Amino acid sequence: MTKIEKIILQLSIILSVLLFFSCSEDSNGAIVEGCTDTEACNYNNKANKDDSSCEYDIDIIGNCCVDNVVDCFGVCGGAYEFDDCEECQIPDGPFWNSSCSGCMDPPAINYDSLFTINANCVYDGFADTTQWELVWNDEFNLGYIDQSKWNHEEWGPGEYNNELQEYTDRSDNSYIEDSCLVIRANYDGENYTSARMTTRDKGDWLYGRIDVKAKLPSGDGTWPAIWMLGINLEWPACGEIDIMEHINAENVIHGSIHTSSCYFSMGDNYPGECPDYQLQSFNQINPDFPNTHKTNVNNITGWHIYGIEWDASSISFFIDGNIWMRVHNTYGGQPEWPFNQPFYIILNLAIGGNFPGDPDNSNFPHEMKVNFVRVYKSINE
């Protein structure tokens, strides 16, 4: 072997050794573990030993999803999943399973074959179905409060009307029992708690019929209410419709409207400067005010259906299907009649405040129960 051939052989050996170590060690001579699959989104071109860490999921913005799962919205580590309706939602969130929940029983008046989770069937057509079409309802038979329909408003005592309760979303203040919503006011010796629930941003309506079947508490300082507020502007400009208010142990309920031109806290201007709403009384009680009235109720703590029928010209108030009051549009513009916009529903049980006065602390807890809330639109619209 010539000298040149020996040199070439030595160089070849050195090169082979260098290539071996460059393929099996890092620059420090160590084994580098990682994903060695060039098809993976986390391929490591410096790895020389595969550690089964390869990932192939890329999220919606092109990031490699390592140590997490791409959710149904395409977000790495996102919280969304497909619900039983095959909709991408937050698990147990306000809209979970909501899109396919509805009445699946053919005999019911609100049967719909498209639903896959049975809920809210209506069998007793309390409203005349030749005049009214059911468009929204809650029969409270899911076993839990339907967050796709209801919000809990939360604030401390004294926020409005000098009321004493704190409004909470706790399960001891609002819950479902025997296919009824229960709003429960508690007193622990120091603090009063209760619940206030609304359909705001989840259900609002312009005109129609509202029916609420409820059972009221009776006792000093109690103030249950079924009412509505307009979705636009602040109170009182937004307008208020009090379908039912009850205080203390009275055997009467109150119904009212409130507007920028006529509301209780106007001071000396109330009621003298209120517009004439042509309030009609259909009972034996003469109205004392232009925007509010009351009616006697037999068995005030029993089940009754409180409702309104509302159109562009008037709002009529009902109990158990019997009209007892009507107010009329003044056609004096928004300050006098803001009831030409959508309104949402509120259910609450207040304690104390300007209207009922102080509670009897020995008589707690108090409960308002609601069997159903139903909203209809006129077939003739």
Distance CA 37, CA 32 (A): 14
CB 218 within 8 A of CB 357: no
Active-site residues, by number, are 240, 245
Question: What does the alpha-carbon distance between residue 62 and residue 150 come to, in Å, rounded to a whole number?
Answer: 37
| Torsion angle (degrees, nearest 10) of CA 377, 343, 136, 207 | 0
CA–CA separation, 78 and 43 (whole Å)? 23
Is residue 109 within 8 Å of residue 163, measured between CB atoms?
no
- The DSSP call for residue 164 is -
Write phi, then psi, for 286 (nearest 5 degrees).
-80, 130
Residue 167 contacts residue 186 (beta carbons within 8 Å):
no
What backbone phi and psi angles, to 5 degrees, belong to 268? -65, -15
Q: Dump the DSSP string for 237-280.
A: TT-EEEEEE--TT-SEEEEEEEBTTB-GGGGGGTTTTS-----E
At position 247, the amino acid (one-letter code) is I
Strands 49-50 and 33-34, sheet pairing: parallel
